[in-house]
Amino acid sequence: MSEQRKLTAQSEDFSAWYLEAIQRAELMDYAPVRGCIIFRPDGYELWERIQAGLNERFKATGHRNAYFPMLIPESFMQKEKEHIEGFNPELPWVTEAGGEKLEERLALRPTSETIIGHMYSKWIQSYRDLPMLLNQWANVFRWEKRTLPFLRTSEFLWQEGHTAHADEAEAREETMRMLDIYAEFAATEMAVPMVKGQKTPSERFAGAVDTYSIEGMMRDGKALQAGTSHYLGQNFAQGFDIKFLDRDNQLKLVHTTSWGVSTRLIGALVMVHGDDKGVALPPKLAPTQVVMIPIGSPKLRERVMEKFDGVFAALKEAGVRVKSDVSDATPGFKFNEWEMRGVPLRLELGPRDVDSNQCVLVRRDTGEKTTASLDNIVARVKLLLDEIQLNMYQRALSFRVSHSHTHINSLAELKEHIAAKEAAGEIAGWVLAGWCGDDDCEARVKEEVKFTSRNIPFGPPTEKSHCVTCGQAAVFTLWLARAY
């Protein structure tokens, strides 16, 4: 905490702001390995709180955690054709171990459908073994060309659910249940509103029949795919021979699903809530919810500290994640520092506050400053944290709504919209478009304006009658946006 310079403004260079913000807040650091990052304690604690929130929801819906090997034999990857084609270019390979060259290369898992499929074929024999509902928390690897901390790194942490079902209806129900859980979790805990919808065929997971996603709008107007849920049909059941004897005594292939979210969610938190002061974290996930700072000259400090320590103990006792900063730095330095780190609430206590039995509370989300009696300070702090959580969600939702455009009906209009926004130094945001369903029409949008299809939303704000590219009748309504 020795140097203290301002971050690049979001409006000036959002990327630069992001990279500065996450490093200055000590969420991460770059690792000396290509495309890898260190999750520093505050960054990792965000992930631990995400894990806890999701584990609770996964368990409540009947899932259990397990752990499968990280190394996947090359022959396994080959068993589902689309799967290997999709992932092959991004795989790291172990070719030597224990001083010897391996007979078969082992991939560092990019995802675990193959090895789990192999085990499911052994574990699933009868309808009594179904549904099989497992989840895994693990590190995974995708050697991507362009990396960005939290959003796209060579190694990342995630959870991957893998389930097997007796019929399609049940598997599809599971696929939707998990998508709903992701969206609810993001809204409730992360204060991030998500748009649920189906991916177009060109954006499907390699090996899936249908892929669904949740997409959030970052503060630069770009979209971030924050979680996916896949109905895999019988593709992996076929590839790995996962069969069960049904009640009618017939041997049948199971229907499988998979679904995942990753440490990318940490990036989403930062890009949705952060501002020019730095990171801003929702109270439910913040490692530190309240930072307490004593005010006033050192000679008056003793009188302050007695009260100060009492409030600190009371908050801690009540389960509030509170930290005190009694370092030698100036109050102003501390204010900036903890705002930059995203602590939702600041509590200041000076000699005059002590005299009047009150303190000053400053919200990170609005900057609002209020005084509060020390008599019921715990209840007041808890209430404020709840308010901040809700306000952060509302603000993110308003931001998305106000930067989502539904009036654009052609590629020409889309180009005009983008050009106008760029000229005004404004955010282009998301655009709702009609689509005929043709891959080429989707591809042309990307080529011409670098907007990609995010998803076909469930319950779009309005329906579209014509394809944004070819003008033919629209079969689908798509969100288009620049995306991470």
Rounded to whole angstroms, the Cα distance separating 340 from 40 reads 16
249 binds a second copy (CB under 8 A): no
Query: Smallest gap, in angstroms, from Cβ of residue 118 to a second copy?
Result: 6
The one among 9, 16, 66, 383 contacting a second copy by CB under 8 A: 66
Rounded to whole angstroms, the Cα distance separating 124 from 130 reads 7
Query: Smallest gap, in angstroms, from Cβ of residue 55 to a second copy?
Result: 9
Packing angle between helix 264-273 and helix 14-24, nearest 10 degrees?
Answer: 110
Rounded to whole angstroms, the Cα distance separating 270 from 282 reads 10
The one among 3, 5, 60, 98 contacting a second copy by CB under 8 A: 98
| Beta-ladder partners of 438 | none
Rounded to whole angstroms, the Cα distance separating 227 from 178 reads 10
430 binds a second copy (CB under 8 A): no
96 binds a second copy (CB under 8 A): yes
Rounded to whole angstroms, the Cα distance separating 348 from 295 reads 7
Q: Are 186 and 282 contacting, i.e. CB atoms less than 8 angstroms apart?
A: no
Closer CB to a second copy, residue 145 or residue 407? 145
Q: φ and ψ at 483, to 5 degrees?
A: -140, 155
The one among 118, 222, 264, 482 contacting a second copy by CB under 8 A: 118
130 binds a second copy (CB under 8 A): no
Q: How buried is 169 (Cβ within 10 angstroms: 0-12 exposed, 13-18 middle, 19+ buried)? A: exposed
Query: Smallest gap, in angstroms, from Cβ of residue 83 to a second copy?
Result: 17
Q: Are 160 and 258 contacting, i.e. CB atoms less than 8 angstroms apart?
A: yes
- Which amino acid belongs to residue 326? V
Q: Are 392 and 282 contacting, i.e. CB atoms less than 8 angstroms apart?
A: yes
Taking CB under 8 A as the binding criterion, the range among 31-39, 223-231, 298-306, 466-474 that sits at the site for a second copy is 31-39
315 binds a second copy (CB under 8 A): no
Taking CB under 8 A as the binding criterion, the range among 15-23, 58-66, 176-184, 356-364 that sits at the site for a second copy is 58-66
Give the pair of three-digit tokens for residue 446. Answer: 């990307």
The one among 9, 62, 93, 416 contacting a second copy by CB under 8 A: 93
The one among 122, 303, 446, 450 contacting a second copy by CB under 8 A: 122
Query: Smallest gap, in angstroms, from Cβ of residue 301 to a second copy?
Result: 20
| Beta-ladder partners of 435 | 476
Closer CB to a second copy, residue 6 or residue 64? 64
Query: Smallest gap, in angstroms, from Cβ of residue 460 to a second copy?
Result: 37
* Full strand arrangement of the beta sheet holding 430-435: 404-405, 430-435, 476-481, 452-453
Nearest to 479 by CA among 420, 362, 367, 401: 401
Closer CB to a second copy, residue 112 or residue 257? 112
Taking CB under 8 A as the binding criterion, the range among 66-74, 169-177, 318-326, 428-436 that sits at the site for a second copy is 66-74
12 binds a second copy (CB under 8 A): no
41 binds a second copy (CB under 8 A): yes
Closer CB to a second copy, residue 144 or residue 416? 144
- Cβ neighbours for 370, distance < 8 A, ≥ 6 positions apart: 360, 361
Nearest to 140 by CA among 161, 154, 126, 125: 154
Give the pair of three-digit tokens for residue 38. Answer: 């260190």
Q: Could you write out the DSSP letters of every residue in 310-341? A: HHHHHHHHTT--EEE--SSS-HHHHHHHHHHT
465 binds a second copy (CB under 8 A): no
Binding-site string for a second copy from residue 156 to residue 195, where x marks contact by CB under 8 A and - marks none? -x--------------------------------------
Closer CB to a second copy, residue 38 or residue 443? 38
Rounded to whole angstroms, the Cα distance separating 329 from 426 reads 38
Query: Smallest gap, in angstroms, from Cβ of residue 69 to a second copy?
Result: 4
Taking CB under 8 A as the binding criterion, the range among 36-44, 166-174, 231-239, 416-424 that sits at the site for a second copy is 36-44
Taking CB under 8 A as the binding criterion, the range among 72-80, 403-411, 444-452, 471-479 that sits at the site for a second copy is 72-80
Q: Are 273 and 280 contacting, i.e. CB atoms less than 8 angstroms apart?
A: yes
Binding positions for a second copy, 254-273, rule CB under 8 A: none
The one among 86, 92, 351, 460 contacting a second copy by CB under 8 A: 92
3-state secondary structure of 154: coil
74 binds a second copy (CB under 8 A): no
321 binds a second copy (CB under 8 A): no
How far CA 334 is from CA of 23, 211, 278, 280, 350, in Å, comes to 17, 46, 14, 15, 14
Closer CB to a second copy, residue 151 or residue 179? 151
Would you tell me which residues interact with a second copy (CB under 8 A)? Answer: 29, 31-33, 36-41, 43-45, 47-48, 64-73, 76, 88-99, 105-106, 108, 115, 118-119, 122-123, 134, 138-139, 143-145, 154-155, 157
